[in-house]
Structure 1
Amino acid sequence: MKRRNKDLSQGNIKKQLINLVWPMLFGMVGMVIFNLADTYFIGRLGVQELAAISFSFPVVMFINSLSLGIGIGTSSLISRHIIVTERHAVKMMASRALLLGIMVVLIFVITGLFTIRPLFTALGAEGIILKYVSDYMHIWYLGVPFVVFPMIGNNIVRATGDTFMPGMLMLNSAIINVILDPLLIFGYGFFPRMGIQGAALATVFARGVSFVLILTVLIKREKLLTIRLGRFREILATWKKVLYVAGPAALGMLITPLSLGLITRILSGFGKEAVAAFGVASRVEMFALMVIASLGSVLIIFIGQNYSKQKFNRIFAALRYALGFSMVWGVLIFLILLLFGRNIAGVFTNDSRVVAIAASFFLIVGSSYGFQGLVMLSTASYNGLNRPYPAVFFSMLRMLILYVPLAWIGATFFALEGVFWAGFTANIIAGSTAYAFLYRCVKRIEKQIDGSCF
């Protein structure tokens, strides 16, 4: 295997961004297909099973956010050192970061296994739906180490400038999941019919394959793993650098599942169909915004490398491209949802009530996706600049300060659609302010290299 380290501090900016983004799409498509496949096949079992998987979504996102937060912190750190620091030092950073990620997430997994029923009861699950949630999460939790390692490992490889290999590994995992889902859920051939437990087992196995493959890439090709981590003081120093970005990044992403859990609780008052529809809409939303998410991951790398060489003109150019792309993409996605929203929702369920609610979500919230994209791109850029606190603030602004309170008010006075208009309003306000502040932040850093954004 040949290393693909790239120096992004020189060359055509637009071409570099495009060349980095399109391989990322394989990974994003894979990640979204992973979730959509589970939603589709579980939806064939019935509305109760679909509602159960919707209840699990905030908790799954919580664990994923912890892992991805450490991955982002690692990516930010390595991208700022990969072209200015010797390889051995980068190798130590990567290895220490992986150890940190596994330790942190395992603590939450152990806790999660012993709190399944009380946690999901608090979120509003009850009766047979609570049983389905418990069946799914007991298996899913056991496979979390296979989720964590590939997430952080992929971010390490991306930080070197190679977005192709991580993307292909994620797509490979999704394909395995799509193949195993119907076999294990419905029991085709010699496979037993496991229902919702089969979906969880398929996820664990698919992630396990990714674990083996990314481990091979990191050891054989990149040579970025070692068991010699240095002195404990040095390990702690690296962890501190990773956590400086990873802590706020994880917190920013944890705000989303926490908020989604609260919104799910609000929606549960409108019946299981509303919860199921929100689960379907949330997964379609992931698919709709995957290109913007890919660009966000690329911006961390691009901005990190250019910041290390203080090439602010290239950073400003990248931000202008990001702004234009987000708005154009948002309009395109809205038009698709406007025309085909009901058909898209109908892919996941035959329940007319669920389809109608999901279509309403697409019509209202979908019109603000360009601004939601600006929040995503801005938070990624802050992390690339090693300025994680504005990133977490704007994530909090969108979800906890705006979306959740407005959703409660909307549900109280305007019923179900009031919750969706809350999402629309939160996206517009947070997206506009996040990007404007980001541009101002970069200008301040340019004038005073170690200056604050404030």
Structure 2
Amino acid sequence: MTIDAPIDAAPSRAPVTSPIASLLTAPILPTLLRLAIPNMIAMVGSTLVAIAETSYIGRLGTIPLAAIALVFPFAMLTQMMSAGAMGGGVSSAISRALGAGDRDRAATLALHAAIIGLCGGLFFTVMMLLFGRDFFTLLGGRGRVLEEACNYSQVLFSGAIAIWLVNTLASVIRGTGDMRLPSMTLIGASLVQVVVGGTLGLGLFGVPQLGMRGVASGQLIAFTLAAVFFVWYLLAGRSRLPLNVSAFRFERGMFFDILKVGAVACLSPLQTVLTILIFTKILASFGTEMLAGYGIGSRLEFLLIPITFAFGIASVPMVGMAIGAGQLQRARRVAWTAAAASGLTVGLIGLVVALDPALWVSLFTRDAGVTAAAHSYFHWAGPAFVFFGVGVSLYFSSQGAARVGGPVLASTGRLLIVAVGGLALAQAPAWTLFALISGAMAVFGLSTAGSVLLTRWGK
């Protein structure tokens, strides 16, 4: 049985008619759906950008395709840390302050968050410009593949500050309960990225062909424009949270309020990337067909992330404001409702592809060996997608409650199962590895749910 602080002990001092205060009183499921849908659309847009980018990189040749595979884990890590992990910590701190009726604190937190975003982007810029070549070499990059990976990475990560600033400021706005503006901005950035990246990369419309550097320039330009827009929007007082830069002063406690959630949460995406890299390395020893079959399966997992992210990130301001207002029962109802919606949605998709994998696999291959491997993956992993949906959603809800330690440990458990179990099964039939992935997902989801159930929320 969970023990929490006193329930509904500190009502918000915000006006009851404000959009912010409505998150404390509106029906939970309709409000979650209203907040989740814009995020889902934006995330689907980002996914389509990744597909489009892969498509026109493919027109540059096989070597650039291999090069982008080397850079992808680090690009994904940058996005996951800035948007999901540290971004969740930002939204959590701001929503808790707003829930307690302290708008001045929320505004000050927003400015401290921007500083954290600048520092996070600078860290990735320095790390990848200095050590990117070494990282790609460790992953197997050689010759022209290595050079193309470095060309792409150097341009992309020279603008890591823009990426971090966009995701940080979007999280500031999400913390007020406004999901629409960040989503529309990210969709606009996605369109700019596709057009500019394709034009510069392929040399369209008479523009000199810049290859991989041109493709990376598309994202650099798109996120720089989005960052400028967010800065203008917040400083112009158009958001639900007016900022007063002239009154700003550094406060160590403000950084701690964000980092106690965001810094710990950053371990989760790091572990996710390590899990993917380790499992891919182990599975590669089973041959190209098995690796390709897993690639088809993991591509569907990648497309399911927008659903889990949308429900999870929508729950952060609702949980955070309820925590700040002392409405702990409502905070938990929000968390479990979001988890149920996320788990049910991706769980149904997983069940469908487990029963009839050809619905998805036939879109990508007719090769008998690859098809058999992909079918085996879905038969085992598909039924466990429900646990993935529940676990990811509760991870975000826990950020809203500033209690993210349990979900991060659950992610650690998943990593250990894949790493240790994968090595133990290296000589076993390939299907046992897919069964291992299924079991790891179940452990992650159930452990996260257990940690939320047993962890005390509130002060």
Find the partner of 1:341 among 351, 360, 370.
360
Distance 2:392 2:99 in 1: 26
Q: Secondary structure at the match of 1:61?
A: helix
Distance 1:284 1:434 in 2: 22
Find the partner of 1:437 among 433, 443, 451.
451
Aligned to 1:366: 382
Alignment of 1:77 onto 2:93: yes
Q: 1:312 to 1:339 in 2, by over 3 A?
A: farther
Report the AA paired with residue 16 of structure 1: T
Alignment of 1:401 onto 2:416: yes
Distance 2:134 2:125 in 1: 15
Q: Deviations 1:163-208 (Å, cap 9, x if unpaired)?
A: 1111111111112222234323322221233333332121112212
Q: Secondary structure at the match of 2:427?
A: helix
Alignment of 1:123 onto 2:129: no
Report the AA paired with residue 436 of structure 1: G
Deviation at 1:362, TM superposition (A): 4.7
Deviation at 1:253, TM superposition (A): 1.7
Alignment of 1:154 onto 2:170: yes
Contact conserved, 2:339 with 2:394, CA < 8 A, in 1?
A: no
Distance 2:171 2:298 in 1: 24
Aligned to 2:122: 106
Report the AA paired with residue 387 of structure 1: R
Alignment of 1:297 onto 2:316: no
Find the partner of 1:40 among 35, 55, 74.
55
Q: Secondary structure at the match of 2:266?
A: helix
Q: 1:35 to 1:364 in 2, by over 3 A?
A: farther
1:262-273 to 2 correspondences below 5 Å: 262-269=278-285
Contact conserved, 1:47 with 1:273, CA < 8 A, in 2?
A: no
Find the partner of 2:75 among 39, 52, 60.
60
Deviation at 1:278, TM superposition (A): 5.7
Distance 2:98 2:215 in 1: 39
1:100-249 to 2 correspondences below 5 Å: 100-220=116-236, 221-222=238-239, 224-228=242-246, 230-232=248-250, 234=251, 236-249=252-265
Contact conserved, 1:101 with 1:152, CA < 8 A, in 2?
A: yes
Alignment of 1:24 onto 2:43: no
Contact conserved, 1:102 with 1:145, CA < 8 A, in 2?
A: yes
Distance 2:223 2:290 in 1: 30
Report the AA paired with residue 50 of structure 2: N
Contact conserved, 2:96 with 2:321, CA < 8 A, in 1?
A: yes
Aligned to 2:402: 386
Q: 1:200 to 1:353 in 2, by over 3 A?
A: farther
Report the AA paired with residue 340 of structure 1: L
Distance 1:105 1:341 in 2: 37
RMSD over aligned Cα, in angstroms? 2.8
Deviation at 1:389, TM superposition (A): 1.1
Q: TM-score, normalised by structure 1?
A: 0.86
Q: Deviations 1:130-166 (Å, cap 9, x if unpaired)?
A: 2222221111111211111110011110110111111
Find the partner of 2:107 among 91, 100, 111.
91
Aligned to 1:11: 26
Report the AA paired with residue 434 of structure 1: T
Q: 1:125 to 1:340 in 2, by over 3 A?
A: farther
Deviation at 1:31, TM superposition (A): 2.3
Distance 1:158 1:389 in 2: 22
Distance 1:362 1:135 in 2: 36
Distance 2:272 2:211 in 1: 28
1:274-353 to 2 correspondences below 5 Å: 281-334=297-350, 335=352, 338-345=357-364
For structure 2, list consecutive stretches of 5 or more residues without a partner in the other structure.
1-17
Aligned to 2:12: none
More displaced stretch, 210-219 vs 177-186: 177-186
Report the AA paired with residue 441 of structure 2: N
Q: 1:102 to 1:192 in 2, by over 3 A?
A: same
Q: 1:120 to 1:358 in 2, by over 3 A?
A: farther
Q: TM-score, normalised by structure 2?
A: 0.86
More displaced stretch, 242-251 vs 278-287: 278-287
Q: 1:302 to 1:20 in 2, by over 3 A?
A: same
Contact conserved, 2:121 with 2:165, CA < 8 A, in 1?
A: no
Aligned to 2:440: 426
Deviation at 1:45, TM superposition (A): 4.0
